[in-house]
Structure 1
Amino acid sequence: MAAAPPPLRTPFTELVGVRYPVVQTGMGWVAGPRLVAATAEAGGLGILAAATLDFDQFVAAVADVKERTDAPFGVNLRADQPDVAERIEVLIREEVRVASFALAPRAELLTRLRERGVVVIPSIGAKRHAQKVADWGVDAVLAQGGEGGGHTGEVPTTLLIPQVVDAVDVPVVAAGGFFDGRGLVAALAYGAAGIAMGTRFLLTQESTVPDEVKRFYLDHGVTDTVRTTRVDGVPHRVLRTPMVDQLETAGTVRGLARAVVNAARFRRLSGTSWTAMLREGRAMRRGHELTWSQFVMAANTPMLLRAAMVDGRADLGVMSSGQVVGVLDDLPTVEQVVHGVVRDAHDVLARLTEDVGSHGDQQRHRQVEDGSGPIGQRG
């Protein structure tokens, strides 16, 4: 087994206490204790997906991760869950290092987390969102470009990251299109303090996604994803499949009927009350300008994702995926992913430094030869 690469220190690694600036995102139905602990043991930051767990399952999952590793890890929560305050108290009690949110929590919850030493990192997809949560006092932001899987914006990573870095004074973790050390170095060059990857970690040996679904992913190319609003009413990048095509062509009545059934199933599974779901619906309609039918469609997401990621039904489920799926052709271990990315990044940085140094030496030599430089000026 190859030795672990040396640390790669950035403001993000210093903030959360990890060895490498590599984050495994909190993918629903995918980022379970085994994957999270493997990432933490490899020196990155693993984030446990808790939005699809009821409270008891959530507590058990946190305990499971802690039994597997002593390294820092994070937990992804929904800021609008009715028991989010109780879940936050669990994070504090169990000394979880990072709380990750799709949207930042209420001010009092954010204050509670930060007072107790929990690092708060919301995910954002636009410059204005980054500025907003930075003003709220978050510790860092995870900025995902349009190439990324799941709910995503339309601004490409190469444009979004420089915008966000210039707009906020907290560490920025770049997401959307990353899979190797070259991408990590590119993100650092843009001013980010690390990278986050979802699809790359989904396609690892420690991922609990069924093997037949993993093989399904590996058969797809960079143009085989689609950014659709027909899954849950807001832009969502997924693999293009016959199921997704059906969703895109289904009439309003048929789609709404399916969504109502899935809403009932998700309510039972997650422990979310109808009152809480309606409250969320009002908030989503204000924030995303959704119709009520689009809000009800949002219940499709967890249940359709579960069909593929848990039940192995690639034919019946929806599979979130970044465009990066088209450049992946293997199922390495998590350690191989993390260490490979960092080792490659060190090599790239060393080569760039050497190339720059060599170019500088050549330039100085020419200046001495022709007298144009400060050393060889002729008088």
Structure 2
Amino acid sequence: MTGPVVVPSLRTRVTDLFGVRHPVVQTGMGYVSDATLTAATARAGGLGIIAGGMLSLDELAQAIDHVQQHTSAPFGVNIRANQEDVDKRVALLIRRGVKVASFALAPRRELIDHLKDAGLVVVPSIGARRHAEKVAEWGVDAVIVQGGEGGGHTGAVPTSLLLPQVVDAVDIPVIAAGGYFDGRGLVSALAYGADGIAMGTRFMMTTDSPVAQAVKDVYLSKGVTDTVVTREIDGVPQRVLRAGTIDALESTRGPQRMLRAARNAVRFQRLSGTPWSHMIREGLAMRRHEGLTWSQVIMAANAPMLYRAALRDGDAETGVMATGQVVGLIDDVPTVAELIDRIMTEAQTVLERLGAGRMSGTAHE
């Protein structure tokens, strides 16, 4: 009879802040980071984050319930700060005792104060040093810093340059994202001064992810040059796979593109049940706060249907697949527990090779 497997653990400011064993974060990816994936990450010792942006308030409550029924470990919820019912979502997180609130866009300062007063940890994602400085001034507890290699909405500065910029600019914990998939990457992020790593594509490519195997097979077939940063999804740069409908989107111009976007917006409204008045007010808020043109606002309503087709419905031919460039370095689909255990073991090997000593051990059955 074999004894428990001892998985190395590494204490950083992030593990202390979140109350987790490992400084590894699973990001809140729309249509990917569901309750099952989040619970699996939490049980494995990382910080799992539910993607709440595409869920109704009731669906979000059900997802939180599911995670809490399957683990007592801390987890987070990602919220879109510009949603009309964001205050109700915040109240839900507080009532249910969620540990972490994460944001893809910087939340209002009063929202940050409200969450922190209720005992939640507030962690926005940023893509520029000035954004990190602003939210740090507003009192957030940590930031996820995504470099240009990352998937979905992304900037032009690579992680290797953005990360040291941000680490030098703020004194709160920094979590590095964009290009990470193994223990070597974790150690490199720590060397830059980060307190942990966040991964999207690597967690999507696990057996605990809800994405269909046929779509995962498309990801497995791609190399590091098989991604494209495009504005043709919602008007702002996003990194996606060069696959499915992306070539058609990029070749569509003018009225034809707007007609396609409008049709998809109607389909999303019917499927989600979101009242048109809410969608219009959300669009106005995006235009006001994010500086979008009317064309970009209409295209933004188009994006959920394009992602839903591939990531939720398994249609790799007509959908759009967000991805980081790291897709070209992923060649297997392990469980979340296997992935995190592997990352921590690899990190220990690298640290020992560098003469940095051993990490502490955590026993897993």
Using the size of structure 1 for normalisation, the TM-score is 0.90
In structure 1, the partner of 2:143 is: 141
- Bigger Cα Rg: 1
In structure 1, the partner of 2:282 is: 280
Q: 1:271 to 1:130 in 2, by over 3 A?
A: farther
In structure 2, the partner of 1:83 is: 85
Deviation at 1:287, TM superposition (A): 4.8
In structure 2, the partner of 1:254 is: 256
In structure 2, the partner of 1:172 is: 174
Q: Which of 10, 23, 26 in structure 2 is aligned with 1:24? A: 26
Distance in structure 1 (CA, Å) of the matches to 2:6 and 2:32: 26
Higher RCO (CA-CA < 8 Å; seq separation 6+): 2
Whether 1:123 aligns to 2:130 is: no
Deviation at 1:275, TM superposition (A): 3.5
Whether 1:192 aligns to 2:214 is: no
In structure 1, the partner of 2:360 is: none
Q: Please give the per-residue CA displacement for 1:130-154, whole angstroms capped at 9, x wherever unaligned.
A: 1111111111000100000011111
Q: Which of 24, 31, 34 in structure 1 is aligned with 2:36? A: 34
Question: Over the residues paired in the alignment, what is the CA RMSD in angstroms?
Answer: 1.5
Whether 1:47 aligns to 2:57 is: no
In structure 1, the partner of 2:71 is: 69
Aligned partners of 2:126 and 2:132 also within 8 Å:
yes
Distance in structure 2 (CA, Å) of the matches to 1:335 and 1:44: 9
SS at match of 1:123: strand
Aligned partners of 1:81 and 1:272 also within 8 Å:
no
Larger displacement relative to structure 2 (32-41 or 281-290): 281-290
Distance in structure 2 (CA, Å) of the matches to 1:4 and 1:336: 13
In structure 2, the partner of 1:104 is: 106
Deviation at 1:351, TM superposition (A): 1.4
Q: 1:214 to 1:125 in 2, by over 3 A?
A: same
Which consecutive residues of structure 2, in runs of 5 or more, have no partner in the other structure?
358-365
Counterpart residue type for residue 164 of structure 2: P
Whether 1:293 aligns to 2:316 is: no
Distance in structure 2 (CA, Å) of the matches to 1:338 and 1:80: 33
Q: Which of 5, 8, 13 in structure 1 is aligned with 2:7? A: 5
Deviation at 1:293, TM superposition (A): 1.3
Aligned identity (percent) is 60
Q: Please give the per-residue CA displacement for 1:248-303, whole angstroms capped at 9, x wherever unaligned.
A: 11021111111112222323444544344333333433455432112100122211
- Count of aligned pairs between the two proteins: 355
Q: Please give the per-residue CA displacement for 1:156-204, whole angstroms capped at 9, x wherever unaligned.
A: 0000000011111110100000000000000000000000000101010
In structure 2, the partner of 1:183 is: 185
Distance in structure 2 (CA, Å) of the matches to 1:6 and 1:116: 33
In structure 2, the partner of 1:213 is: 215
Deviation at 1:354, TM superposition (A): 6.1
Distance in structure 1 (CA, Å) of the matches to 2:231 and 2:17: 35
Aligned partners of 1:82 and 1:272 also within 8 Å:
no
Deviation at 1:107, TM superposition (A): 2.2
Deviation at 1:228, TM superposition (A): 0.4
Counterpart residue type for residue 290 of structure 1: L
In structure 2, the partner of 1:370 is: none
Deviation at 1:75, TM superposition (A): 0.4
In structure 2, the partner of 1:345 is: 347
In structure 1, the partner of 2:156 is: 154
SS at match of 2:33: coil
In structure 2, the partner of 1:308 is: 310
Q: Please give the per-residue CA displacement for 1:90-127, whole angstroms capped at 9, x wherever unaligned.
A: 11111110001011222222111101110000011111
Which consecutive residues of structure 1, in runs of 5 or more, have no partner in the other structure?
356-379
Distance in structure 2 (CA, Å) of the matches to 1:60 and 1:170: 32
